[in-house]
Amino acid sequence: MADLLCGSSKFSNFTKALNIHMVDCSPVLQEVQYNALKCTDETTNDDNSSKRTITMCLAVQFHGIPLWNRFHQDGRNPRYDGLISDSLQAIRKHEFVDVLDDPGSADLSAHVDFESIRHSAKGVSADLSAHFDLRIF
């Protein structure tokens, strides 16, 4: 996030319009991010529903880290065999388009390793259940 803010700082209209919401499970990391990004507390007002906005979600996940040794050894990640394109994709009128082509006019999609997330979450909650297998779609 710090890199994004630094890189976009020359675009003052963009940075003035930013409203950033950080989500982190760790209170320690929340404080580190708050201080590193020089955040300020602010109440939000969602009454501007008629104003057109662009929502950009940035996520960092660590669910693939256990596979790093395997990937490092042979250059492939067995969980993602068969995926031939980038994870972040834009779809407009049932066709894949460049994610930066006319922002806001296409749906965004990304490949998510739900099995890895489920495995990680089971360490936190023993009563976790999946309602269906997303691979059936």
Q: By residue range, what is the domain housing residue 67?
A: 61-137
- What are the pLDDT tens digits along the chain (137 aa)? 777 777 788 888 888 887 777 776 678 877 887 787 776 666 555 555 556 666 666 655 554 444 444 444 555 555 555 555 557 788 899 998 988 888 888 888 877 666 777 777 776 666 665 555 545 54
Do both 40 and 22 map to the same domain?
yes
Residues 136, 99 share a domain: yes
Q: Are 113 and 123 in contact, with CB atoms under 8 Å apart?
A: no
Answer yes or no: is 114 within a domain.
yes
Q: Are residues 113 and 68 in the same domain?
A: yes
The answer to the question of residue 56 being in a domain is no
The DSSP output letter for 9 is T
Q: Are residues 88 and 132 in the same domain?
A: yes
Phi, psi of 116 (to 5 degrees): -65, -40
How many distinct structural domains can be found in the chain? Answer: 2
Its pTM stands at 0.33
